[in-house]
Amino acid sequence: MYKIESKNVDFFYGASQALKNINIAFKPNTVTALIGPSGCGKSTYLRLFNRMNDLIDNTKIGGQILIDGEDIYAKGVNVDSLRKKVGMVFQKPNPFPKTIFENVAYGLRVNGITDKKFIEERVETSIKQVVLWDEVKDKLKKSAFELSGGQQQRLCIARALAIQPSVILMDEPTSALDPISTAKVEELIYELKAKYTIVIVTHNMQQAGRVSDTTAFLYMGELIEYGNTKTIFTNPKIERTQNYITGRFG
């Protein structure tokens, strides 16, 4: 049983085709890295899993994406509920202009939860999950903007975890962070694997090598190679993959 299945996925911005016939099956409790040069469509692909591309006018998707065996683009699918199940972490830390507590509680509140005690508990567990609790427990009522960039990004991960998704999408989550914060986030990704299925877009080959179990290499909207990360990094079947990984183009 796969967590996410992408079957013959095509994607168009207006007339131009951004993704061509992509087939990948993601196993539960794994980290999959999507790599490839800028503009290869990896971010676009990632954003299909929580239907974030719906927000862009004049786009079209072909093929099927199944999560837990259900077609998420089928008629009658509730997008809000889908997004509750599929959390997302963005390139730059983007906390809301609210307190630290309210940032994490946000997803619960917009999903109709009003029980104060429940929210408090969930906020605490989520912040603990991202190993931020000791740093912020005394200033939960302060603005999230007061945290450092690395702390903000972990807060954003906690915010995604609070609504207990089963899939987490990460769009270059460390591209705006310093090396120490990056290391912390990577460590976190590794630990989160036990409970979640993670798909991460990254520019950083070392990062892909460190955190992921499987890797997909995209180029010009096509899936070039997909497989075990170790295999892809040590013994890629396709020359273009090797060229990219070893930095000969990109």
Partner 1 sequence: MEAPDENKLAKRKKRNQFIAFGILKLLSYSIVAILVIILSFIIYKGIGVISWDFITQMPEEGMTKGGIYPAIIGTLCLVGGSMIFAFPIGVLAAIYMNEYVKDGIIKKIIKQMTNNLAGIPSIVFGLFGMSLFVNKLGFGDSILAGSLTLGLLALPVVIRTTEEALKAVDNTFRHASIGLGASKWETTSRVVLPIAFPNIITGLILSIGRVSGETAPILFTVAAYFLPKLPTSIFDQAMALPYHLYVISTSGTNIEESRPIAYGTALVLIIIVLIANLLANGLRKYFGNKVKMN
Partner 2 sequence: MKTFYKKFLEKFIEGLLMLSSTITTLTVVLIVFFLFKEGIGVFNKKPIEEGYVIAINKNNIVTKISSEQIKNIYDQKIKNWKEIGGKPDSIILFRLEDISNYYSDAAIGENFEGLPNCLSRLIDSVPNIIAFFPEKYLDKNFKGRQLEIDKVTLSEFFGGKEWFPTAQPAAQLGVMPLILGTLWVSLGAILLALPLGLAASVYMSEIASDKVRRIMKPLIELLAGIPSVVYGFFGLVIIVPLIQKTFNLPVGETALAGSIILGIMALPTIITISEDAMRNTPRAMKEASLALGASKWQTIYKVVIPYSISGITAGAILGIGRAIGETMAVLMVTGNAAVIPHSILEPVRTIPATIAAELGEAPNGGLHFQALFALGCILFLITLVINLTVEFISNRNKYNKH
List of residues contacting partner 2 (CB under 8 A): 50, 52, 55, 80-81, 83-84, 86-88, 90-92, 94, 96-98, 106-107, 109-111, 145, 156, 159-160, 163
Which of 80, 97, 179, 247 binds partner 1 (CB under 8 A)? It is: 80
Q: Which does 145 bind (CB under 5 to 8 A by kind): partner 1, partner 2, none?
A: partner 2
Which residues are bridge partners to 11 per DSSP? Answer: 19, 61
Q: How far apart are CA 79 and CA 82, in angstroms?
A: 5
Q: Contacts with partner 1 in 209-238 (CB under 8 A)?
A: none
How many helices and strands in the chain, by DSSP H and E? Answer: 10, 10
DSSP code per residue over 179-236: HHHHHHHHHHHHHHTTT-EEEEE-S-HHHHHHH-SEEEEEETTEEEEEEEHHHHHHS-
Given partner 1, partner 2, none, residue 76, with its beta carbon under 5 to 8 Å by kind, binds none
The answer to whether the CB of 162 falls within 8 A of the CB of 130 is: no
Given a contact cutoff of 8 angstroms between Cβ atoms, the answer to whether 85 and 51 are in contact is no
Regarding 112 and contact with partner 1 (CB under 8 A), the answer is yes
Taking CB under 8 A as the binding criterion, the range among 6-14, 28-36, 112-120, 193-201 that sits at the site for partner 1 is: 112-120
| Min separation Cβ 122 and partner 1, Å | 10
CA distance 174 to 89: 10
**CB-nearer residue toward partner 1: 96 or 118:** 118
Q: Any contact of residue 69 with partner 1 (CB under 8 A)?
A: no
CB of 115 or CB of 239, closer to partner 2: 115
